[in-house]
Structure 1
Amino acid sequence: MFEKLTKDNITMYAIQHYHNPSCEGMGEFNDDMKRFKYVKRLFRKYEESGILKERLLLNHIIVLNNLFGAEASSTLLFFKTEQEHWPALRGFLEFLNIMPENDLLNVESDKKVKQKLMKL
C-alpha cells in the first residue's frame, strides 16, 4: 500500500501501524505523534551543543516502538529526522536492537552516541 512514504501519506501510514488499546481519540494519537518532534529536537540540540540527553531519547524511542512496532517506528523516525541526525538515530536503534537490517546500511552509527549508551 505504501511503496514510498511522502508528506501526504505519512499520517495514514502511522495510523495504520498505531497500536494503543487505551487511545481515546485523535487527540491522543496526535500527542503520541509529537514524540517524533521531541526526538528531532533532542538530536538538533545534541548537534548544536554537544549535550546528549540519552535517557530522554531512549524513553521517547521506546514509547514509539511500543506504539507503532519496531519496523514502523524506525521507518517513521528516519522519515521525520533530518538526514544529518541519522547516525545518532542509528546508534539508539542499534542499542535497543530495533534497527531494521535492510535500512541504511551505508549510514554509520555516531561513535559518541554509542559510547554514551554503553555506559548506561
Structure 2
Amino acid sequence: MKKVTGIGGIFFKCKDPNKMREWYKEHLGINSTQYGATFEWFEGDDSTKKGQTQWNPFPETTKYFQPSTKDFMINYRVDNLEALVEELKKSGVTIVDAIESYDYGKFVHILDAEGNKIQLWEPKD
C-alpha cells in the first residue's frame, strides 16, 4: 500500500501571524489569508493530476498542535487514510483523534516517535 504521497501542508506557531503573513508576502511573495497560502502543483506519477500544499502561520497560543509541545505540524497527503490508520494502530502508533471528513478530504492526527503531532490528509482531488 502506498502510504504518504506528499506534503499537504506546513503549519507553525509564531507571535504575530498577521505580521508573519505580511513579512512573507513582502519578502518572499507568498500571498496568504487567515487560512494561509495554497501552492498548487501537478503529481509526478500522473502529470494530469493536480495537488496542493497548504502553508499557514498560527498564533503561538494555539491549542491546535496539542498534545505536542512543538511549534510546528506537518500535514502529509495519503492515499487510503482508513487503511493506514488501521495499520498504524496495529503498530502501536498514537492516534490523537477520530477521522473527520470534509468536502475537501479526510483528516486524522497522530504522534510520531518524539511526540510531534502529524496531520494525515486523504484529499478529494
Q: TM-score range by the shorter chain?
A: under 0.3
Which gives a bigger RCO, structure 1 or 2 (Cα 8 Å, sep 6+)? Answer: 2
Structure with a larger share of its residues in strand? 2
Structure with a larger share of its residues in helix? 1
Q: Which has the larger radius of gyration?
A: 2
